[in-house]
Amino acid sequence: MSPVLRPTRLPAVEPAPFGTVALTDREFARLRTLVRAETGIALRESKRALVCARLGRRLRHYGYSTFEEYCDHLQERDPAGEERRRLANAITTTKTDFYREQHHFDFLRDTVLPALVRAGVERLRLWSAGCSTGEEAYSLAATLLDGLPRGRPWDARILACDVNGDALATAEAGIYARELVAKVPAVVLKRHFTPVPGEPSLVSVNAALRELIAFRRINLCQQPWPIRTKFDVIFCRNVMIYFDRATQSTLLQALVAQLVPGGYLFLGHSESLLGAEMRLTYVARTVYQKPPPTGQG
């Protein structure tokens, strides 16, 4: 009779799928703390598999066999913060699109720009905060170039920032697959994009748009920001949804402080202001205005 085989001890964690490393509760808790410190992102329990998959590559890169070793690396062997930046690149969700939430760009063109022109503003400053791979910033640039009255010079600039350096590199390159520009209106595509020679599936953003934008790596959760400018318009869309309430509240206050009086804050479709303490006026769907200077409506 063959002997009954019994495991000598129970496994501490669920067995990992073939080829992946198991992520224990303790390791996940450590990673959550590190990710929050580096990006402000509050990882939910439901993100465990995603974390395992995305950071598993970093473990393999170093030849580590546990996430514990990777956490030690992040905390003890990363003095210049290189790996912490890679952690941010791996964890952030960069989903974006040209003219995402078209109604925001319509509101900017039809209401905000005419109001600024009427108020005699000549210097325009816009901020794409959490710009991902650049689609939002280029959509803003095209809206400005095509929406501002011609025949006079404008001092217009857009700051576009993100914590994900890989996304920023794509943004700065300004080269996109044709399927990514499918929703760009034909007239905008013709005016502001050029086919890449020898690459029929790619288009490149023209200089006129690029020249309006400065891309920079800035962590929105590390304040004070290295920014002196006050902005007429801030787009911070689909970024705060990944943060906890306290981080959202701190960020919102800092964004409002960075707006000129009368400036506009555009949030993502599922983001709303947390409380009346912001003293912002709701002016359109997920668009808010800071009180204008006294005497102006």
Ligand X SMILES: C[S@@+](CC[C@H](N)C(=O)[O-])C[C@H]1O[C@@H](n2cnc3c(N)ncnc32)[C@H](O)[C@@H]1O
Candidate ranges 58-66, 218-226, 257-265, 289-297; the one touching ligand X (CB under 6 A): 218-226
Give the separation between CA 290 and CA 278, rounded to whole angstroms: 9
Contacts (CB under 6 A) with ligand X, residues 241-280 = 268
Output the smallest distance, CB 97 to ligand X, in A: 6
Assess contact for 264 and 232: CB atoms under 8 A: yes
The pattern of x and - marking residues 86 through 115 that bind ligand X according to CB under 6 A reads ------xxxxx---x---------------
Contacts (CB under 6 A) with ligand X, residues 41-80 = 41
167 touches ligand X by CB under 6 A: yes
27 touches ligand X by CB under 6 A: no
Q: Single out the residue of 39, 139, 248, 258 in contact with ligand X (rule: CB under 6 A).
A: 39
134 touches ligand X by CB under 6 A: no
Output the smallest distance, CB 71 to ligand X, in A: 20
Q: Which of 36, 54, 109, 178 is catalytic?
A: 54
* Bond preceding residue 224 cis, omega within 30 of 0: yes
Q: Single out the residue of 66, 170, 206, 219 in contact with ligand X (rule: CB under 6 A).
A: 219
**Does residue 216 carry a catalytic annotation?**
no
Output the smallest distance, CB 63 to ligand X, in A: 27
Looking at the Cβ atoms of 25 and 106, the one nearer to ligand X is: 106
Q: Which of 32, 86, 162, 237 is catalytic?
A: 162
**Exposure string (b/e) for 182-220, b if CB count within 10 Å is 16 or more?**
eebeeebbeebbeeeeeeeebbbbbeebbebbebeebeb
Candidate ranges 55-63, 187-195, 236-244, 273-281; the one touching ligand X (CB under 6 A): 236-244
Looking at the Cβ atoms of 115 and 130, the one nearer to ligand X is: 130
- Which residue numbers are catalytic? 54, 162
**Site for ligand X, rule CB under 6 A:** 39-41, 92-96, 100, 130, 132, 136, 162-164, 167, 219-221, 237-239, 268
